[in-house]
Structure 1
């Protein structure tokens, strides 16, 4: 009973709902014009309206939860587009977590579920008929749509295969022409059955094909419709019509399926027991041609509105959804096609290849905030790629994918957060480079494309001892730290390309960290570098390690000479090579002369490694990056440190401060 109740709730939304995103696309009576050109789908039909937009233009949740909705319009070009297909890899049970909640005032519970549907709409049909009083009824408007797909059954952990036919509500006549009393709703749901309902277990590939037999059939029905009487007065009432319909055929290709037989659920292998083709009555379809036929695909998690949330209160609805812990991970949708087909004697489709189109021709746009016209909810996280992979993770869910990092790996540790403030970590992984152009897609599994943050960390090993320039292309807030120094800081006022410099030594491992924040817009992140000896290029994985290292100490020093009276004075030249191969100090002086007006007693240099007496220093360089060579400490003047000698006098270096 609970599952029946679930489908009553679910399919009410799949039919002719008057609310939000589940309203059947209506055809305009005259061409429509947008003040702003819409590039998200072909300029036909009626543009989609997303009713629950946030201030930034995003679509937080639709009427029934987080959703990615694709809508497009196609021209039949003389042959009805009556065939559609898609494939999907059903997520494993461990990748689905759904939690029941109270949805009505009597304490009834409902469990949400992942779903994926393809809709095929029919042009409106205008019929003539008879009113219940026997008078003529003209211009009777019949609307029709249908959909097929997959809906998760949480109690059985399998997927149902509902097929829905939506048209005017109706009553049937028996063979003798007598009106039967049962009234049927506008949306009729059928489930494939072989002596019991057929379902598809999780964790396998499924291909669904749905097509309409071009042969139109008819039957008498009493329908609720809008019409005109003989005087031209518009009315809405019950009228008797000869209702056209076509058989819809569902072909399911899956390795394994189950049947809920009277004795219990049994599992079958399609290779041994092939699935038949399932047929359904699609009311209101009469093989008409349309120059503006709408198609709609929807994916996400389906919820029914709880009684605790006032109807139409989007603020309360969004808060309710933000507190949910449900998720579905690593689902995909691929091999989508639409075309025209006939049906052979075995019931198989014979597809006219010349009529087939794919998403590449549908101009769907990016399934992210950038495609608001197609209504993607904020917790829906599609990833770019040849197959449309996505995850739907509600904000309160604790979903995390970790990784192990070792010294032998090449690349950086990457941490992906589902919020822009480095909270809600969803993914840890090894990124070989920082060279991404995500557009409006999610940057990683389980991450919403709307707002997120990323932290890359580890170490780099340069090849040359010289000054390096780092370049970051992205246009989002970011900071780059190398060896503990903030090399680039574009957090509050990001540039399209930001740069910064730092001097590094060949073969030394330096810690690196890049903090990235994506608030809104098409996203990219590219980290490059250059130096005097290497041209600008994306940093390669070979220079990266995901294991952090300690900051290499770098100090600001003053260098000078002492007279016999211990007066510190300026030095107008420096030692270019102080220590020979045999570590014997000598008096080799450089010819580089410092400016006469320089404040030599505060001249700053960089010095690395430890600072003990008699320690060999091999990381001494000028502030502008010129490498000085090696130096040997002497301490013949009151215990102070000195570097090299000239005429027996030490040149002293005083540590001023950490750099």
Structure 2
């Protein structure tokens, strides 16, 4: 079965123009990421690759292979599957995990034999006929993927095979949250209470777990999560969209933007907020009671409205009785617009020559960002700076 989660990011482009000079724009290109679950154990796969044999020593070819979302089996006196014996069978489960660095406590409960490897190290070895019993071992895990492998056999009677792990001690060298991800804290309760049972960094909040668990050691039902991230966002109006089943709420810079903290079927909520630009703290809280589990967050952005151009007192005009704007002007005044057709006359009879004169106009304008086309019409020479 192939599962896909696709991420799409919106691109933004900004251009600046100051009078005649245009600066280059920058562009954040869209990106997408595809996560796939394959038949063989994939790196950080959320499922176990399971294989079953109709003997107690995993010999020969398995009679059944399949993917399983959890390793918490209590078959009692039944069979794992119609193809597998009720007694006298064995199994192997394999998967990769990606965890927060630290010391992890692994537990294995079995009736009869069980053994557990982490990255090839045998940390639990209880390969014998026995009544149900639980064993534990600790192992330090760093960044990157880690291979977990479990082997089990059932001789007769009750059949139980369960494996789990929790973070015992976080690594003191755990770095600060990456700027490109969310700090996710997952709890095995619905109220975000106590110490989180799983801490990890999620690239995005776009989860459609359905009836599966969100991660290692977290319940499929009755859990909660909190995601936190600090982002640099441009000024403007934002509409946040949150899709949840069951409850969720969203805070932006400590302000509640969406509050849908209740048991419900999948639903989408929106909330609007205006941001001044700069660092923004976004936090989403979520809980799942039972059945389908969904948590999705996104937003749209509209740039802040540009201030209209400031009223102008016109152009400062300096007129010279020569063609090279040299010396002192013979006339200084404010012209409301540069739109003159003097013909054979003077700009100011008695002060400025009819021929062989020059003029400089200057004005400071406050213009919104954008692309501008400047035009000039002249007889004789003209330049614009």
What TM-score results when the alignment is normalised by the length of structure 1? 0.27
